[in-house]
Amino acid sequence: MDDPDSVPAATWKKLLEDNEDTDPTVFYFDKAQKKLYLHRVLDNRSITAAFLRTQIDNFCSNIHDTADDWKFTK
């Protein structure tokens, strides 16, 4: 992002609100790199292929479902 300070507060607020719906996937902003990230953490102990597939599918859904809210980064 060239100028993150030019992004309206309502846009940032929407991303924060999205975090509630996408948990454990969350948006976060790295100010040093001026990049917005969508991040998902999961416990990898005793992971199965089915569990991993579900997590990947859920993460992809999070990306798709919130795409309109982060399109300003393109």
Q: What are phi and psi of 22, to 5 degrees?
A: -105, -5
Task: Note whether 37 and 28 are within 8 A (CB).
Answer: yes
Mean pLDDT value of segment 63-70? 97
Residue of 5, 54, 45, 50 lying closest to 29 (CA atoms): 5
Q: Rounded to whole angstroms, how far apart are CA atoms 38 and 32?
A: 16
Each residue's pLDDT tens digit, 19-58: 999 999 999 999 999 999 999 999 989 999 999 999 999 9
If phi over 0 gives left and psi between -120 and 50 gives alpha, with beta otherwise, what is residue 41?
A: beta
Q: What is the pLDDT of residue 74?
A: 80
